Copies of this chain bind each other. A is one copy, B any other.
Amino acid sequence: MSTPSAGGDEPRRPTMTDVARVAGVSLKTVSRVVNNVPTVDPELAGRVLAAVSELGFRRNDMARNLRAGSTSATVGLLIEDLANPFYAGIAAAAAQYALEHDTMLITASSEEDAERERALLLEMCQRRVDGLLVVPAGDADHVYLRPEIERGTPVVFLDRPPRNLLADTVLIDNAAGGRQAVEHLVAAGHERIGVISDWLSISTMAERLAAAEQALERAGVPYRPDLIAYGLHTVPEAAAAVARMLDAPEPPTAIFALNNRLTLGALGALNGRTEPVELVGFDDFETAAFMPWRLTVVSYDAREIGRMGAELLFKRIAGDRSRPRKVIVPTELVVRSAG
């Protein structure tokens, strides 16, 4: 019942061989025309081009890259969650930079799961990406990447450093950001400052929290463990934690939320309340200026992280063998008053 070459039913992409047959030239001549080699008789080139457009031929880059060696003109990007605007900004900037280098971006989300991260990155290596951009999951160990790096797949870490591995890294100045936020609140006269944090296994959280605690201590603000909540990974968890703090006997007069998700949670908890609680959030977002609260944020250029990471990665791909670099993107406190 099967009609192997009955045509029409089972579409198959034409190959250079097909083009060569139709144009009445050799395979190699088709290759030359397709690759714009100048030494081809214009008449033959014309026949080839006609055949190409008649058949709808399009060169198979998989085969081409296989032959060409170990480049796929593809880089992999692994982030926690594509839908988070912070990471989406990184992804957009990295994709743009890659495109300018004739490279496309494979993206995937780790969902903060170390095992998933591992599986996805190794999968990308199997596909012979030219390099990897990675926002590591909080508790990931990256020794497993060493063989891949040694065998020529460079890796650049974004937003968080690798564990048990030396590699290029682009970080935010978390310590400065944490300090700026707390100093701002202290200067405004606050003495009971609540801090809400995601999992401390995430390095950015640990660094921001440490900087905040240090700044509080330096300012002579008494240490209040009841005003520090961590392990909050979702918006509702953050909201619940803030609500608990506010309902306690000595509620905070200000809150420092260590990332954008936590800031949303805090906003949710504060919404509808009358207490004049001041809120500072790490990570800026588009609608921050329109909030009814005095929402000050620790801001930085998220796209710069993606762009810079891509730049470092492409240097490695081009053969740079110098020792790993660490780039720190600066933070800036954007102070906003109530509307």
Asked if B85 contacts A104 (CB within 8 A), the reply is no
Cβ contact of A82, chosen from B60, B95, B148, B264, cutoff 8 A: B95
Total copies of this chain within the assembly: 2
Asked if A60 contacts B292 (CB within 8 A), the reply is no
Asked if A126 contacts B60 (CB within 8 A), the reply is yes
Which of A168-176, A204-212, A220-228, A282-290 lines the interface with chain B? A282-290
Please name all residues of chain B whose beta carbon is closer than 8 Å to the beta carbon of A125 when the two chains form the complex: 58
Cβ contact of A147, chosen from B56, B122, B339, cutoff 8 A: B56
Asked if B126 contacts A58 (CB within 8 A), the reply is yes
Asked if A128 contacts B271 (CB within 8 A), the reply is no
Please name all residues of chain B whose beta carbon is closer than 8 Å to the beta carbon of A147 when the two chains form the complex: 56
Please name all residues of chain B whose beta carbon is closer than 8 Å to the beta carbon of A178 when the two chains form the complex: none
User: What residue in chain B is nearest A70 (Cβ atoms)?
Assistant: B13
Q: Does A83 contact B (CB under 8 A)?
A: yes
Which of A43-51, A105-113, A242-250 lines the interface with chain B? A105-113
Which of A86-94, A132-140, A181-189 lines the interface with chain B? A86-94
Q: What residues make up the interface of A, taking CB atoms closer than 8 Å to B? A: 11-14, 56, 58-63, 65-66, 70, 72, 74, 81-85, 88-89, 91-92, 95-96, 99, 104-109, 122-128, 147-148, 150-152, 264, 267-268, 271-272, 285-287, 289-292, 303, 339
Among A99, A286, A289, chain B packs the most CB atoms within 10 A around the CB of A286
In whole angstroms, what is the CA distance A85 to B260 when docked? Answer: 14
Asked if A339 contacts B292 (CB within 8 A), the reply is yes
User: What residue in chain B is nearest A56 (Cβ atoms)?
Assistant: B147
In whole angstroms, what is the CA distance A148 to B303 when docked? Answer: 34
Asked if B83 contacts A92 (CB within 8 A), the reply is yes
In whole angstroms, what is the CA distance A59 to B291 when docked? Answer: 52
Asked if B13 contacts A126 (CB within 8 A), the reply is no
Please name all residues of chain B whose beta carbon is closer than 8 Å to the beta carbon of A105 when the two chains form the complex: 106-108
Cβ contact of A272, chosen from B62, B122, B267, B339, cutoff 8 A: B339
In whole angstroms, what is the CA distance A85 to B82 when docked? Answer: 9
Please name all residues of chain B whose beta carbon is closer than 8 Å to the beta carbon of A60 when the two chains form the complex: 66, 126, 128
Please name all residues of chain B whose beta carbon is closer than 8 Å to the beta carbon of A303 when the two chains form the complex: 83
Cβ contact of A88, chosen from B88, B104, B150, cutoff 8 A: B88
Cβ contact of A91, chosen from B82, B124, B272, cutoff 8 A: B82
In whole angstroms, what is the CA distance A206 to B144 when docked? Answer: 52
Q: 19 A-B Cβ contacts within 8 A?
A: A11-B151, A12-B151, A56-B151, A58-B122, A58-B126, A60-B126, A62-B66, A74-B106, A83-B85, A83-B88, A85-B85, A95-B109, A104-B106, A104-B108, A268-B290, A271-B290, A285-B287, A287-B291, A291-B292
